[in-house]
Structure 1
Amino acid sequence: MAGAPSMEQAEASQAYKSQGDFRFPLVVLTSLFFMWGFLTCLNDILIPYLKNLFDLSYTQAMLVQFCFFGAYFIVSIPAGALVGKIGYQKGIITGLIIASIGCFLFYPSASLASYNMFLIALFVMASGITILQVSANPYVSALGPAETASSRLTMTQAFNSLGTTVAPFFGSWLILSTMPHGDDVTDAAVAAAALSPAEQASAVQMPYVMLAVALVILALVFLFLKLPLLGIKDNGEAQSQATSVFSGGAWSQRHLVLGAVGIFVYVGAEVGIGSFLISFLTQADIGGYTEAEAAKYIAYYFGGAMVGRFIGALVMQKIAAGKVLAFNAVSACVLVAIAIASSGHTAMWALIFVGLCNSIMFPTIFSLALQNLKQHTSQGSGILCLAIVGGAIVPLLQGVMADNLGVQMAFILPLVCYAYIGFYGLSGSKPRLS
């Protein structure tokens, strides 16, 4: 999702031909996409856990996403400059090490029962993931013939979605299963409630230490892998591209600017719904589930997005991308409205099925926004990547609404976001000068 420095496809293809068969490195690289999807989705498990542990308001709990996605905005440009200096392979190793440090920081955060330290750990972990994304995407293009680069990128993105689908089961089993729920008076719940905050927080220590170790192992693997020696040759050019994101010709393109808003509200809506899904499903008039039971339904939400990508790819061969985007956005609006206005399993499944509508939104908005930018394409891509900060801002605003209006009514904000995406698909995505 984060932007990557530009790379000549011919150079990638030549590196492939001259340096051998990279099928095994591609498999290892694909694991990175799985890992950062996995780690990102675990935030949806952490939010109800930390909210219960530290007795947080919804606004305070949404600082989890604020710190995580805020790192994309803060670190993205410096990450591009860093990778421009040290190259893609070292960038991957650096990203893995930083992400592993963030995971290791969960151990002292839990020992001290400090919410602020948890937020710092999340920021560090997300910073590493940002560097990973800036580094890894170009390597996917490099590890094979140029003519099949698109299919390799599609495959790796599918594994990213697989990570978001698997993570809820992992989090439910190892983290949320330790939480006492509502009026639960079982022996296990009584015992859990009697523990100190530090003892209760220990449930997140081993899962994140395990993830940290896995990231370190991956860093060691990449340290010894023989990969194409690709990187930015002109460091000055890389630096100028990084600083030009905030000024230049791309800002005169109306469809790009509106597309950046589209990326902002899309990421915000997707993350916001995922962040509140457990809280929504645990409500007595919706599902009445425990947190551990509700967490498993997040897999359906993100699994729908994974399935929808394949359906959308086929549909968009016959129907214009803007129309498909608008259809999905309107469908999402209808489903969110049903979730707000109804109750029970009707509201529950309506919200979960929004995941299916999300499937094609990010890549479609991204590609529509970059239409006809020509020499400004690189700058436009950087602008769109920074717009991912919507994942930090929108859930936080939704948290404020949840504290004042209730969880169910707070979904009005994602509904407005999807309405804007519908406008963008029908009208705002058409290229013309502002």
Structure 2
Amino acid sequence: MDVIIENLEPAEQEYKQGQKKFLLPFILVTGLFFLWGMAHNLDSILIPHLKKACNLSNSQSTLVDTAVFFAYFIMAIPAGMLLKRLGYKYCIIIGLLVFAAGAYLFVPAANKLSYELFLVALFIIGCGLAILETTANPYAAVLGDPATASNRLNLAASFNGLAAMVAPIVGANFILSGKEYSKEALAAMPSVERMSYFIEEASAVKLPYIILGTILLIVALLFCFIKLPEIKIKQEENAEKPGFFAVLKHRHLSLAVLSQFFYVGAQVCITSFFIRMAQQGAGVDERTAGYYLGIYGFLFMLGRFVGTFLLRFTSSQRLLICFTLAAIVLCLVAVFGTGTYVVYALGLLGFFMSIMFPTIFALGIVGLGDQTKSASSWLIMSIVGGAILPYGMGSMIDYFQDNIQIGYLVPLSCFLIVLGYAWKGCHVRY
């Protein structure tokens, strides 16, 4: 079944007449995909790094994900309300400012060596990201021909994929020190030397996040002076405004929300333990593992561009089925394989996961018209899967005496659910 994005009507007559007023806004919004991609993919560096700096267990280290993605759950509905009230431009500016505030909070967190304060900073970053994603995903979808909304989302999300390559390289060079001690070695250290090691490790995050916060402020200022078209969705006269929960009556949306929950959980699980999996599976040091994560990011980015190209020749549904089947096979290799083949499988997972989020998002908002903004809030709220499932994976790894490999049964299960949505759940019924 070919799925076509309908009823997203961004002044279609003007679009058909060849007006290019959507080009600059689309370029700017695409830049936002890169910025929040940097934040998310730096988390994959922060998890093993803060595990060292704050002397954490696997499950405790995944609270990095919990802080960020729980913020999505908390902020998705308020962000949708802000979007309806203030429009796209002002929501983007607010999201950037909140994001920047969280980035700057890394400085006192590192100075105090406070994991709790790091989590607060990450929660604030997550709130900013939730506002940005609730705004930018539907905005990218409506900035052009409705029939190519999925293509635009995948193209914009390709720059999120670019961040997936850049962030691990930045993190490996500026955050990861390459110094790592066993529990026994740490216990044998004099307390002053041990504390000095922890503080030095924690301080490594300050410069990257100061730079990130400053860039966000500059971008927010740029949006203040750029005129963005506020797209209005056509609505029938005297039509009742549907309630926030009413949009869930659309089966393809409610199942998209469920599918997105498990997809995001799977992606975060895979990247959160990628570095430690590379260390265990291939026997490399943490910096080399960080570069492997950068290769994963490159393949993720490549998958976005290839996926956008393939959408010219096939439907979103068929592409999602094919890529999800490949992800399931690779997950099986990660769980049951040995040596460097495990790392190769994890790297290739980046390619095949790449199109899942934007494609599920686009399929979920098919035919929703004036309910698109509410649907966007639900789809962003489903990102809470990234807060819950990695903690479960970390607990499983701790239970099996730090066996990272067996924990990858969690994302494998998630991909089976995504496959079910792609196969049957995304059909639109009126």
Matched to 2:279, the amino acid is T
Match of 2:4 in 1: none
Give deviations 1:291-333, integer Å, cap 9, x for gaps. 1111111222232222223333444444454343233222222
Shift in alpha-carbon separation, 1:193–1:77, aligned structure 2, 3 A: same
For 1:141 and 1:326, how far apart are their aligned partners in 2? 21
1:244-263 equivalences in 2 (<5 Å): 244-245=243-244, 247-248=245-246, 250-251=248-249, 253=251, 255-263=252-260
Q: Does 1:73 align with 2:39?
A: no
1:44-123 equivalences in 2 (<5 Å): 44-123=44-123
Match of 1:298 in 2: 293
1:129, distance to aligned residue in structure 2 (A):
1.7
1:69-218 equivalences in 2 (<5 Å): 69-137=69-137, 140=140, 153-177=153-177, 179-180=179-180, 195=196, 197-218=198-219
Matched to 2:412, the amino acid is L
Which deviates further from its counterpart, 403-412 or 151-160?
151-160
Shift in alpha-carbon separation, 1:13–1:208, aligned structure 2, 3 A: farther
For 1:319 and 1:7, how far apart are their aligned partners in 2? 21
Q: Does 1:269 align with 2:266?
A: yes
Give deviations 1:366-412, integer Å, cap 9, x for gaps. 34444566776554444333212111111111111111122110111
Matched to 2:274, the amino acid is L
1:233, distance to aligned residue in structure 2 (A):
12
Do 1:250 and 1:373's aligned partners in 2 also have CA atoms closer than 8 Å?
no
Shift in alpha-carbon separation, 1:125–1:373, aligned structure 2, 3 A: closer
Q: Does 1:414 align with 2:411?
A: yes
1:95, distance to aligned residue in structure 2 (A):
1.3
- Name the SS for the 2:177 alignment partner: helix
> Unpaired segments of 5 or more residues in structure 1?
1-5
Matched to 1:402, the amino acid is I
Give deviations 1:203-222, integer Å, cap 9, x for gaps. 11111111111111112222
Match of 2:3 in 1: none
For 1:29 and 1:228, how far apart are their aligned partners in 2? 12
Matched to 1:296, the amino acid is Y
> Unpaired segments of 5 or more residues in structure 2?
1-6
1:123, distance to aligned residue in structure 2 (A):
0.8
1:251, distance to aligned residue in structure 2 (A):
2.9
Q: Does 1:39 align with 2:2?
A: no
Matched to 2:169, the amino acid is F
1:354, distance to aligned residue in structure 2 (A):
1.2
1:162, distance to aligned residue in structure 2 (A):
0.8
For 1:367 and 1:331, how far apart are their aligned partners in 2? 21
Matched to 1:116, the amino acid is E
Matched to 1:425, the amino acid is A
Do 1:250 and 1:376's aligned partners in 2 also have CA atoms closer than 8 Å?
no
Match of 1:327 in 2: 322
For 2:357 and 2:424, how far apart are their aligned partners in 1? 17
Which deviates further from its counterpart, 30-39 or 138-147?
138-147
Do 2:83 and 2:91's aligned partners in 1 also have CA atoms closer than 8 Å?
yes
Do 1:99 and 1:126's aligned partners in 2 also have CA atoms closer than 8 Å?
yes
Q: Does 1:344 align with 2:335?
A: no
Using the size of structure 2 for normalisation, the TM-score is: 0.84
Matched to 1:397, the amino acid is G
Identity between Structure 1 and Structure 2 (%): 38
Do 1:30 and 1:159's aligned partners in 2 also have CA atoms closer than 8 Å?
yes
Using the size of structure 1 for normalisation, the TM-score is: 0.83
1:26, distance to aligned residue in structure 2 (A):
5.1
Do 1:109 and 1:117's aligned partners in 2 also have CA atoms closer than 8 Å?
yes
Matched to 2:356, the amino acid is M
For 2:114 and 2:151, how far apart are their aligned partners in 1? 44
Shift in alpha-carbon separation, 1:214–1:59, aligned structure 2, 3 A: same
